[in-house]
Copies of this chain bind each other. A is one copy, B any other.
Amino acid sequence: MLNKLLSFIFSLLSLTAIGQDDEAFFIKSIYDHTLTDGVCYPWLSDMCTSIGGRLSGSDNANDATDFVKDKLLSLSLDTVYKQPCMVPAWERGDVEIVKYVSDGEHLSATALGNSIGTGGKILKAEVIEVQSLDEVRQLGREKIEGKIVFYNRPMDPKQLTTFSAYGGAVDQRVFGATVAAEYGGVAALVRSMTLRLDDHPHTGVMSYKEEFAKVPGLAISTIDAEELSDRLARGPVQISIQNEAKVLPERESYNVIGEIKGSVFPDEIILVGGHLDSWDIGQGAHDDGAGCAHAMQVMHTLKALNYKPKRTIRCVLFMNEENGLGGGKEYAKVSNEKGEYHLAALESDAGGFTPRGFTCDGDTSTFKKFFTSLNQFEDILSPYNLYIKKGGGGADISPLKSQKGLLIGFRPDSQRYFDYHHTSIDRIEAVNQRELELGAAAITSLIYLIDQHGL
């Protein structure tokens, strides 16, 4: 195996060989450093508690860009800077009341991102429950007009990864309001995107189609979704909605970038990143403070171990993944204008849980090359119980696909992610320090191997 590896490296890189044992030893050092002297948890904790939620276009989000820039500056990287980008701005407002007209009981509700509100007025209407966008289309204007459409199809607990369950239900949140409006509905209430039965409404992005009226969209907690469904089974239900959500003018914000220049192939960029923006409720601890903490920890570890990368390792903390991808698009645009080449881009945007592996996306030829060398990676990574397989990269790095490098998504255990996702309880208390550190170490190890071997 060692000979095979050596010949592989010689043939590919024509460089002084580094043996598999040395690589295994270095990866052990990565883990040791991260688990004993890691900064990811204290930095994340500091950002969550001192800044909190970081919605694109908010002062908090821009404060966060300064926060992480300072952290990256403390690492003596070769370059640290903020890259301007335009982002949408949306505000929830102070008032957010959803209640039953009959008895005044409140529902745990939260406006969906990008949604309009009721302008502070009370919108009162009868509710109709549906299980899908298609059901609205089938019911048609006759049944929908004037109604609040209540989307109540739960995430499917039979899916093994919660992201699959999310993917199978989230169309209700994204398109529920606009499809309701298409048939005369006056608002949409959406069962929260979680497998739990609890009291926490989950916000998240929604989107309007220009050709239809804009009507308010809100999520309600799963417990309230069950209760509302029960009431509807007994007879007609009227709900009143009063909120102040509104879209504000676009605003300038920033991606934050720090890099170590490659010593041999400086033009081959290996990106590691997460997104700095989060929803306004909660602290965005898992989504995606954890990803930012991971990416910064990679740089911290490589510097602490005095590692001189062959390729350029670039940490990018993207702005505006949640509701626009302004940062990711701008980053790719600038990169393309500069004629850059991202050999690989890895995004961590699935929380700070115990690492399970990585999924990879990319051009067919890139894939072939990478999966040829993969067995060796897997051997070296086997003590850490990490898989590497085909699958998604990440939203922020997706515009880089045209550069034909490898796009990699970090995959931590997904079971608890949607307990917190887009809620007021996505707070630092929900993050386990060791799980976060192990994620950072896993990511650093893969970045290191790609830097050593290329694709």
> Which positions in A face B, CB cutoff 8 Å?
31-32, 35-36, 157-158, 160, 162, 195-196, 354, 356, 383-385, 387, 413, 415-416, 419, 432-435, 438
Q: Is A432 within 8 A of B416, CB to CB? A: yes
Closest to A197 in B: B433
Known: A31-B160, A158-B36. A416 touches B387 (CB 8 A): no
Q: Is B413 within 8 A of A432, CB to CB? A: no
Of the candidates B32, B157, B384, B413, which one forms a contact with A413 in the assembled complex, judged by CB atoms under 8 Å apart?
B413
Residue among A356, A413, A416 with most chain B CB within 10 A = A413
Q: Is A434 within 8 A of B356, CB to CB? A: no
Q: Is A32 within 8 A of B160, CB to CB? A: no
A385 to B412, CA, bound (A): 13
Q: Is B413 within 8 A of A354, CB to CB? A: yes
Q: Is A383 within 8 A of B158, CB to CB? A: no
Closest to A433 in B: B196
Besides A31-B158, A35-B157, A160-B384, 20 other CB < 8 A contacts? A31-B160, A32-B158, A35-B158, A36-B158, A157-B434, A160-B383, A160-B438, A196-B433, A354-B354, A354-B413, A354-B415, A385-B387, A413-B413, A415-B434, A415-B435, A415-B438, A416-B432, A416-B434, A416-B435, A419-B432
Copy number in this complex? 2
Residue among A31, A354, A384, A438 with most chain B CB within 10 A = A354
CB neighbours (8 Å) of A384 from chain B are: 160
Closest to A357 in B: B385
A354 to B162, CA, bound (A): 13
A-B contacts, 16 listed (Cβ < 8 Å): A31-B158, A32-B158, A35-B158, A157-B434, A160-B383, A160-B384, A160-B438, A162-B434, A196-B433, A354-B354, A354-B415, A356-B385, A415-B432, A415-B438, A416-B432, A416-B435
A384 to B158, CA, bound (A): 12
A435 to B195, CA, bound (A): 12
CB neighbours (8 Å) of A162 from chain B are: 434
A433 to B35, CA, bound (A): 28
CB neighbours (8 Å) of A416 from chain B are: 432, 434-435
Residue among A383, A385, A434 with most chain B CB within 10 A = A434
Distance (Å) between the CB of A384 and the closest chain B CB? 7
CB neighbours (8 Å) of A432 from chain B are: 415-416, 419
9 smallest A-B Cβ distances: which pairs? A35-B157, A415-B434, A32-B158, A354-B413, A415-B435, A354-B415, A35-B158, A36-B157, A416-B432
Closest to A382 in B: B387
Closest to A196 in B: B433
A415 to B416, CA, bound (A): 14
